[in-house]
Amino acid sequence: MVTVKLKTILLGISAAVMVAVLSVSVWFTGAYAVYYGNTPRLVPIYCVEREEKVVSITFDCAWGTEYTDALLTALKRSEVRATFFMVEFWTEKYPEFVQKIHESGCEIGTHSSTHSYMSKLNAADIKAELSSSAGAIEKITGEKVDLFRAPYGDYDDELIKTASESGFYTVQWDVDSLDWKDLSASDIAMRVVNGVKNGSIILMHNNGLHTAEAVPIILETLKNRGYTFLPVGELIYRENYVIDGTGMQKQAK
């Protein structure tokens, strides 16, 4: 009897130790974010928790403008305001397009100054990239820039922390069109419309080979499914929010 009780006690202690070890492991590997809706690391906004069928369509601008007029025409016809994330060297090379995009009613955010892997930069260099790139846009539009998308989707805690301290919301995406791979317009459209949910942020590029062809299909299809479009700055919550381990931004309870 004593032996049985001792074995039971030892098994109980072993189980408790195992749970403790797993809990520590889960926390430090980031799995805690998946299982418990919290995270030991900082994450940007990938999407937004929304009850209504509303999404944002975004375009990164880093190279070229050949298809940008057609893109703006498609957005105008559908009365959709998108968000464009611009690299500083693109902004300085094509100021007339920056102005066109601004005058169309679309929103503009920064995509960095040099389109580098910003997780490799220190805080001072990150601040310089954000300040310089935002300033180049503001000089043309006269509007404050407070949205930021990291090049290559590359980030770490230092980047998000520094961006936040500098007054920027760091925005990723949860629907990737892969338009930069020169997929056909129908393939691009299918990827987007099949991936969207309430609060989604769609990633596209202003100068993708077939992007401008795909956009009217995307806009018409999603509108027919009951979705409406908002610029990212109007989709996100600007205060009293949390971001869970999946990157979903939610209003704080």
Which residue is catalytic, options 60, 174, 179, 210? Answer: 60
Interatomic CA distance for residues 132 and 138, integer angstroms: 10
60 labelled catalytic: yes
188 in helix, strand or coil? Answer: helix
Q: Give yes or no for a contact between 204 and 211, defined as CB atoms under 8 angstroms apart.
A: yes
Which residue is catalytic, options 111, 115, 179, 205? Answer: 205
Dig out the tokens for 68 from the structure. Answer: 């940008």
**φ, ψ for residue 137, nearest 5 deg:** -70, -45
DSSP H/E element including 110: strand 107-110
69 labelled catalytic: no
Non-local CB neighbours of 243 within 8 Å, separated by 6+ positions: 43, 44, 45, 249, 250
Interatomic CA distance for residues 205 and 83, integer angstroms: 11
Mind telling me the catalytic residues? 60, 205
